[in-house]
Amino acid sequence: MITVNPYLTFDGNCLEAFNHYRKVFGGDFEANQKFKDEPGSKHPASEANKIMHISLQLSKGFMLMGSDRAASMGSGKPGDNISLSINTTSKKEADEVFKGLSEGGKVTMPLATTFWGSYFGMVNDKFGIQWMVSFAESR
């Protein structure tokens, strides 16, 4: 079964926001990675302790996820601070969903196996919605 979760992007205060959300909603952090944790990271030293990925388990099957915006992403603007994260049940399903969402849209990160063990890609669809498609190969 495909799951869909919101993915929030912040301008340097992601951890502060997620600590607040954990206080409000409860739950536990499933992941809390900083940019410096990325193997071979090319992020500037000023971003080393910023959040690359954090996830807060709110209920069974529902997770709130987020990160700080890396300088390489450019400055943000209202509306581009949320994506929908799709978790598929197979690599084939990820390919199919990604292909469908890419039609008439713009791929911002092609599907590929990542250092964190997921088959992952990002696309802005033809309607301007940001999507992250993922299959956890390590499961």
pLDDT at residue 93 in the model: 93
Residue 21 tokens read as 């959300």
76, pLDDT greater than 80: no
Map out the domains of the chain with their CATH numbers: 6-69 (3.30.720.100), 78-139 (3.10.180.10)
Mean pLDDT estimate for the chain: 88
The H-assigned helical ranges of 5-117 are 14-25, 91-102
Residue type, 79: G
The structure's pTM equals: 0.74
Higher pLDDT, 80 or 9: 9
User: Please, which pLDDT band fits residue 139 given cuts at 50, 70 and 90?
Assistant: low
